[in-house]
A and B are shown apart, each in its own frame.
Chain A
């Protein structure tokens, strides 16, 4: 049952990527800002788990969440001068912040990886019929599903969620109606932080070696997914993230070693093609005009 195994693993990785992509999409929706530094939330969350290695698991997870959400809120404050900036400035700034945080991690923790041995039991496998599936795979899928639907529920059913959706559609009119810009943006960053923290814990179980580039390496494909899926809508962005995670996992299993090295090239060629041909994204219904000259 190799194929089924591959698919289940792919769904798990796709779920984790979807969490990251959704976080990026939420912030983009309310601020029109693509946060290159989103990956560093994961990096620092992972290091938090490293540092609390010897403490009880619950403490570790709490510290991880606190670190990630705290850092996300700090980013919200730092990015405030950017609210009226052109997208180019935003892009370069978040790139700078990403590099800054990576440098800080390098300074604080060194270049060599450190181990965060979290929930190692989840790496053990359980037999379901003919399959041997790791617990973490099942947990990833479950957590992913819960969080994604939970976030969707918040957006659809709560007042703050309504405000966020409105702000993402037409920020100016939302303001005219009295929607509090700062509250909405801050909430988006908090929510993105929660999603990132969950993704971090799940990731660290399968990949316990944490380096300064840990999150950056992950956020690049996730960003690809968001762009390819469709930046303008949360559902298409999240779906794009899932698709990239799914594809990366499948290709990782299926491709021979030689073919795998050009995975990045294939992925990024796809990004360029999508940007040129269908800038609104693959999973959106209409062609959104995206700053075409």
Chain B
């Protein structure tokens, strides 16, 4: 079994993330956004990895947790008057809630984790094809509800005027914190038991492992991290709509994880940063206004084609991803 325990394996991903954060702060204003966007994407992908990488079960639905986290953080950091003007029927408790930046992120994590727990209780018995379809269903349902239930949010309208607090500091610290938590989990007893079970379910059951419970733990944790990432996301964009946290983001983050390598934290980080980088490059090449994924109806679609093609090719010919699903240990460190 791969050695996942050595702390030196954490150095490379964290160093790379810190490097990206640092380097990005010295670029021009318009490019800075791309860098911060990459860091937030990495947060989402790491969150996704915590579940998919350790359990071996695909989840199409993690963006639901990003979504609820984003809306939770967003709704609690905009003025009440704005909220009521967008949706007059908003629940009073949501309308009046107003918290600071850090609290909003904590709330996002909590909401994401709770939602994931509830979903997980129902779904963690499933694997393979059934899990994929069920989690996809969760994605659709979440989007449908958020988009139409105006008592809990702005519905189809854009929630704007969210304070843009995801600076390089917040973005970098946030993603590194998530990376450390992911690493602590995968080297913990729970994480290792789950990973071993996914590699050999029969042996695991024979040893009395409750796979359902282990998966639920991973799913909840990854949901909380995804919610947190959603908070970072909304504070990066300054606004949020339901379409921004739906199929396109789901595909993008899954592609990032798969291309980087599903099996390792290094893979998640590499995949997220690499794809974000290529994405930004192609975006500038298309000569569009670089606002990330605000509006996907941009006439030129080369980067989507490229992304889709790369993901399909990787899945067909190197399903373990660029990193082969292995962690990396920097030479010279024990």
Contact = CB atoms under 8 A, between A and B. Distances in A.
A–B contact with Cβ pairs below 8 Å: the answer is: yes
A110 to B, nearest CB: 6
B203 interface: no
6 contacts: A95-B251, A110-B299, A265-B144, A265-B145, A268-B144, A269-B137
Contact of B304 (A107, A269, A275, A291): A107
Interface of B: 56-58, 60, 122-123, 125-130, 132-134, 137-138, 140-141, 144-145, 147-148, 201, 205, 211-212, 251, 254-255, 258, 297, 299-302, 304-305, 307-309, 311-312, 315-317, 319
Nearest to B149: A262
Interface string A21-36: 0000000000000100
Given A91-B132, A102-B304, A104-B305, 9 more contacts: A92-B258, A95-B251, A95-B254, A100-B305, A111-B299, A227-B133, A276-B126, A291-B129, A292-B125
Contacts of B302: 107
Nearest to B259: A96
B284 to A, nearest CB: 17
B123 A272 contact: yes
A107 to B, nearest CB: 4
A95 B258 CA distance: 12
Q: Which of B145, B297, B301 has the most CB of A within 10 A?
A: B301
Nearest to A86: B128
B308 A271 contact: no
Given A103-B301, A103-B305, A261-B148, A97 B312 contact: yes
A86 B58 CA distance: 11
Contact of A88 (B57, B144, B255): B57
A99 B304 contact: yes
A99 B127 CA distance: 23
A55 interface: no
A261 B144 contact: yes
Nearest to B251: A99
Contacts of A59: none
B189 to A, nearest CB: 19
A107 B302 CA distance: 7
A100 B134 contact: no
Give the 7 A-B residue pairs with the shortest CB-CB distance, closest first.
A100-B308, A103-B304, A268-B137, A107-B301, A93-B315, A106-B301, A96-B311
Nearest to A263: B144
Interface stretch (A77-85, A171-179, A182-190, A196-204): A77-85
Given A96-B308, A100-B309, A85 B299 contact: no
Nearest to A260: B148
Interface string A255-279: 0000001101100110110011001
B148 A262 contact: yes
Contacts of A110: 299
Given A91-B58, A107-B300, A272 B312 contact: no
Nearest to A109: B301
Contacts of B251: 95-96, 99
> Main SS of the interface on chain B?
helix
Nearest to B127: A291
A93 B144 contact: no
A293 B141 contact: no
Contacts of B201: 293
Contacts of A100: 305, 308-309, 311-312
A87 interface: yes
Contact of B141 (A220, A265, A290): A265
B140 A293 contact: no
Q: Which of B56, B299, B317 has the most CB of A within 10 A?
A: B299
Nearest to A79: B316
A97 B251 CA distance: 11
A290 B326 CA distance: 30
A261 B143 CA distance: 11
B137 to A, nearest CB: 4
A19 interface: no
A110 B127 CA distance: 37
Contacts of B317: 81
A223 interface: yes
Contact of A89 (B145, B300, B311, B315): B315
Nearest to B135: A272
Q: Which of A78, A88, A107, A220 has the most CB of B within 10 A?
A: A88
A262 B312 CA distance: 33
A268 B140 contact: yes
A103 B308 contact: yes
B319 A89 contact: yes
Contacts of B128: 86-88, 91, 290-291
A155 B138 CA distance: 36
